[in-house]
Structure 1
Amino acid sequence: MDRRHTDGGSVRVLEDITSVTLHGALDGLAKRQRVIADNIANIQTPGFLAGRVEFEDALRTAVQAGDPREGAITTARSLEPTREDGNNVNLDHEVLSNIDTGLRYQTMLRATDDKFGLLRAAIRG
């Protein structure tokens, strides 16, 4: 489904479903990276509960419904057990999640770059 809009005679080709989906994924992954950094920064803060970012299921549902703009990014506090000081940040989990998120972000950037490459090739003929 092509979601191009006209704006003063110009066509916004970067608002197709693929571009909007990639943008939504990049936004969700960037938010996750910020929350992971916050978790790690607060690893010694008594009573701090780790944050978790969810967006994949909402984005998938929104894409299936035809409008990836509707995919919400949610942040919630972890319900995992806490240490004696009330903090539940697990450094091993955060490091692995950060690596996974970074790899996913790189993949989405590559997909975005490939999409622009296709557009450049189409424009050049």
Structure 2
Amino acid sequence: MFNDVSTSSLRVALSGLHARQNAIADNIANIETPGYRAKKVKFEEALNQAVADGDAPGSVSPAQLTSLEPTRLNGSNVNLDQETLSQVDTSMRYQLAIRALDGKYSTLRSVIKGA
């Protein structure tokens, strides 16, 4: 139950979304830092591929990349509008994954209790 594909996938997704939230926070905190390059976190494609190939989702880890977006005059390439939208999207995805995992655990609790 704890190592099935969906539970493992949800755990990997939560890990990746957490890493993305941290990257977004770093990006926003460094928006005025000269020469700062925004961080991007990717994991969805690797997770989808692992599940499609029948590999263990737990083998997937988030990849942190540097954004190649154009820079502003100070050399930073952080776009506050883009980071804000990404934060909202990431937070919603995180909440959805938490609810899905909670649902799986609630079902398990019900089965154990016999209710």
- TM-score normalized by structure 2? 0.94
- Residue among 92, 96, 109 paired with 1:107: 96
Equivalent in the alignment of 1:84? 73
Name the count of aligned residue pairs: 113
Equivalent in the alignment of 2:39? 51
Q: Is the partner of 1:14 in helix, strand or coil?
A: coil
Where relative contact order (Cα < 8 A, 6+ residues apart) is larger, the structure is 2
- Residue among 2, 10, 24 paired with 1:36: 24
Q: What amino acid is the match of 2:90? A: T
Q: What amino acid is the match of 2:69? A: E
2:114 is the counterpart of 1:117: no
Equivalent in the alignment of 1:17? 5
The root-mean-square deviation of aligned C-alpha atoms, in Å, is 0.9
Q: What amino acid is the match of 2:78? A: V
Q: Distance in 1 between matches of 2:53 and 2:2?
A: 19
- TM-score normalized by structure 1? 0.87
8 Å CA contact 1:47–1:87 kept in 2: the answer is: yes
Looking at CA atoms only, which structure, 1 or 2, has the larger radius of gyration?
1
Q: How big is the shift at 1:100?
A: 0.3
Q: What amino acid is the match of 2:98? A: L
Q: Distance in 2 between matches of 1:107 and 1:33?
A: 15
Structure 1 spans left out of the alignment, 5+ residues: 1-12
Stretches (4+) displaced over 6 A: none
Structure 2 spans left out of the alignment, 5+ residues: none
Q: How big is the shift at 1:15?
A: 1.4
